[in-house]
Amino acid sequence: MVGEKDWELFKQKFNAKSSINLNDYKPAQMQRRINNLMTRYGVNTYVDFFNLLDKDAKMYKEFVDYMTINVTEFFRTPEKFSELESKVLPDLLAQSPKLNIWSAGCSVGAEPYSLAMILKDITPNVKHRILATDLDVEMLAKAKSGIYTNTEFKNISTGRASKYFKQAGTTYTIDEDIRSRVEFKRHNLLLDKFDTGFDLILCRNVVIYFTEEAKDGLYRRFLGALKPGGVLFVGGTEAILNFRDIGFSQYMPFFYRRPL
């Protein structure tokens, strides 16, 4: 159906349009996802598929969403957020009373807002810096609106739900003070410069389709962006097997520390 030249040309054209370099993504998984869409739209080559995307802004937006997997919820993997609240954040606060945190690949904002709620509960009089970034401007717009549905809401405790949200029918609007504690910005993890001096970086369920080379480079850049003693928190399927080679020490499962 398609050949290597067709695939290479598609990647070049898509990179020029989106600044997303598909060479950093595992080709088998990417091609399988794209082939499913090509079948749905009735096109036979990657270049024909790109031409469809290039002409139809709605289709292009749907494709980028499909590729970047914008699935999220508050307190995703609750047992890990419990460890974050009971162990990781208190350890970091013992080093610095005002934390600098980055939620990388924040999607619709559930992760950084979850952090903001925890930090307000344990340090009510301190406004920490929480930077939240994503590639997708529409996801960032939803994040800034602070309006959510039951889909993102299932792991929130009753206490935090009533304390930090206003419900209207099937929608929930986050408290204005919590919203003010998060700074949202567009950022391409594989292309853009990183800020530095972070106490904590969260990059969870973002790198699932990245190549091993791309992940290795990303984790090395995260190491450089952390303060000594700072912690990287990754997703439940994203254990960093070569963390020692990169320069991390293991703090707890799925939490990695930059040595002091």
User: Quick one: average pLDDT of 210-220?
Assistant: 93
Is 85 found in the same domain as 210?
yes
> What's the one-letter identity of residue 208?
I
Domain with 115 in it: 78-257
| Of the ranges 49-58, 135-144, 145-154, 240-249, the best mean pLDDT one | 240-249
Is 160 found in the same domain as 50?
no
Is 128 found in the same domain as 29?
no
CA distance 160 to 48: 49
Is 211 found in the same domain as 82?
yes
CA distance 111 to 248: 23
Contacts of 3-8 with CB under 8 Å at 24 or more apart are 6/45, 6/46, 6/47, 7/31, 7/46
Is 41 found in the same domain as 103?
no
Is 109 found in the same domain as 41?
no
Please give the model's pTM, rounded to 2 decimal places: 0.83
Is 104 found in the same domain as 207?
yes
Q: Is residue 200 part of a domain?
A: yes
Q: Is residue 73 part of a domain?
A: no
Is 170 found in the same domain as 105?
yes
- The strand pairing partners of 171, in sequence order, are 168
Q: Give the full edge-to-edge strand order of the sheet including 165-168.
A: 147-148, 171-174, 165-168
Is 28 found in the same domain as 108?
no
Is 99 found in the same domain as 10?
no
Residue 1 has pLDDT above 50, yes or no: no
Residues of the chain with pLDDT > 70: what percent? 98
Is 150 found in the same domain as 94?
yes
Residue 145 has pLDDT above 50, yes or no: yes
* pLDDT value, residue 205: 85
Q: Residue 109: which CATH number?
A: 3.40.50.150
Number of independent structural domains in the chain: 2
Q: Are 125 and 153 in contact (CB under 8 A)?
A: no
* pLDDT value, residue 68: 66
Is 237 found in the same domain as 182?
yes
Residue 17 has pLDDT above 90, yes or no: no
User: Quick one: average pLDDT of 174-180?
Assistant: 96
Phi, psi of 170 (to 5 degrees): -100, 10
In the listed set 45, 68, 91, which residue is the last one of a domain according to the structure? 68
Q: How confident is the model at residue 71 (pLDDT cuts 50, 70, 90)?
A: low
Q: Which residue, chain included where needed, has tokens 């939803």?
A: 142
- DSSP characters over the chain: ---HHHHHHHHHHHHHHH---GGGB-HHHHHHHHHHHHHHHT--SHHHHHHHHHH-HHHHHHHHHHHHT----TTSSHHHHHHIIIIIHHHHHHH-SS-EEEEES-TTSHHHHHHHHHHHHHSTT---EEEEEES-HHHHHHHHHTEE-HHHHTT--HHHHHHHEEEETTEEEE-HHHHHTEEEEE--TTTSPPP--EEEEEE-SS-TTB-HHHHHHHHHHHHHHEEEEEEEEE-TT---TTHHHHT-EEEETTEEE---
Q: What is the mean pLDDT of the chain?
A: 91
